[in-house]
């Protein structure tokens, strides 16, 4: 009989990611066959898993969605928080976001029930591109574009790397990042004495937001998923920042 680690078994039910499962196990909220589970325990397909006394032993097909997150929605699975992304989407299966976009930002975010792919995509060191359109509060100058793209801007306890920045109009620019620093674009703009008025993510790796309307989601196409999956082989987990 094939055994698998409990956190992996939980993630495969679509309940949460492996990291989320580890936290639930540490908090004593997970039971296997009615007994509180310990970290590292392995389970078989015949074992009954429950979280907060709710049986979750249910395998469902993997779901991969592209969602156009509106401003004001919080990327959390904590449904006690008003305006959380889970209640907003109201999907019939348990899904969770891959990474985050902060509350004032909008645009593309992935939603899934596949805990394994979450760990792989969030590995920032793989240089996965994320593209944003950003509107600021005052006229953009050539110096601003050069400084934004040139790297060496302090962000938290490190520095932004060089990145591709192009001007769209007097107040809007496009930026392609491969780093995962917390609120990186907003912090970079602030350092240069600009304030972000609107921030929209329009692409993650090979998946584009396109004409997807705000607040709507769609399934990734077979071609999108195949390309994405091939690009993350060998990845391991980390945490993506919000912007």
> What are the structural domain ranges in the chain?
4-55, 64-113+210-231, 129-204
Position 157 pLDDT exceeds 70: yes
CATH number belonging to the domain at 64-113+210-231, selected among 3.40.1010.10, 3.40.47.10, 3.30.70.580, 3.40.50.1980: 3.30.70.580
Structure tokens at 85: 């992304």
Phi, psi (5° rounding) for residue 189? -65, -45
Q: Does domain 129-204 sit in CATH 3.30.565.10?
A: no
Report the pLDDT value the prediction gives residue 97, as an integer from 0 to 100.
93
How does pLDDT run across 198-241, given as a tens digit for each residue?
A: 999 999 999 999 999 999 999 999 999 999 988 887 655 444 55
Report the pLDDT value the prediction gives residue 238, as an integer from 0 to 100.
43
Gyration radius (Cα) of the chain, Å: 20
How does pLDDT run across 101-137, given as a tens digit for each residue?
A: 999 999 999 999 887 787 777 764 557 899 999 999 9
Any idea which residues carry the catalytic annotation? 102
4-55 and 129-204 share one CATH topology?
no
* Burial status of residue 207 (CB atoms within 10 A of its CB: 0-12, 13-18, 19 or more): middle
Report the pLDDT value the prediction gives residue 239, as an integer from 0 to 100.
47
**Which fold is adopted by the domain 4-55?**
3.10.290
Report the pLDDT value the prediction gives residue 87, as an integer from 0 to 100.
95
Interval 4-28 mean pLDDT: 87
Rounded CA gap, 243 and 238, in Å?
A: 16
Position 184 pLDDT exceeds 50: yes
Instruction: Give the percent of the chain with pLDDT over 90.
Output: 63
Best-predicted range by mean pLDDT (75-79, 92-96, 126-130): 75-79
């Amino acid at each position: 009989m094939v055994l698998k680690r409990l956190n992996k078994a939980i993630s495969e039910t679509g309940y949460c990611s492996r990291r989320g499962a580890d936290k639930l196990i540490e908090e004593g909220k997970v039971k296997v066959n009615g007994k509180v589970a310990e970290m590292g325990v392995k389970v078989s397909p015949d074992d009954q898993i429950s979280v907060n006394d709710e049986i979750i032993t249910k395998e469902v097909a993997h779901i991969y969605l592209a969602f156009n997150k509106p401003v004001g929605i919080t990327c959390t699975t904590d449904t006690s928080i008003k305006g959380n992304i889970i209640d907003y989407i109201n999907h019939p299966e348990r899904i969770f976001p891959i990474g985050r976009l902060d509350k004032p930002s909008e645009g593309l975010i992935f939603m899934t029930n596949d805990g394994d792919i979450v760990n792989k995509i969030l590995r920032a060191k793989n240089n996965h591109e994320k593209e944003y359109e950003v509107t600021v509060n005052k006229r953009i100058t050539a110096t601003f574009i050069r400084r934004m793209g040139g790297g060496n801007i302090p962000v938290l306890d490190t520095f932004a790397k060089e990145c591709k920045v192009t001007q769209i109009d007097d107040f809007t620019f496009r930026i392609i990042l491969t780093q995962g620093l917390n609120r990186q674009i907003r912090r970079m703009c602030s350092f240069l004495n600009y304030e972000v008025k609107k921030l929209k993510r329009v692409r993650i790796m090979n998946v584009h937001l396109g004409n997807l309307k705000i607040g709507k989601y769609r399934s990734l196409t077979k071609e999108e998923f195949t390309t994405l999956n091939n690009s993350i082989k060998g990845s391991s987990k980390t945490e993506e920042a919000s912007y």
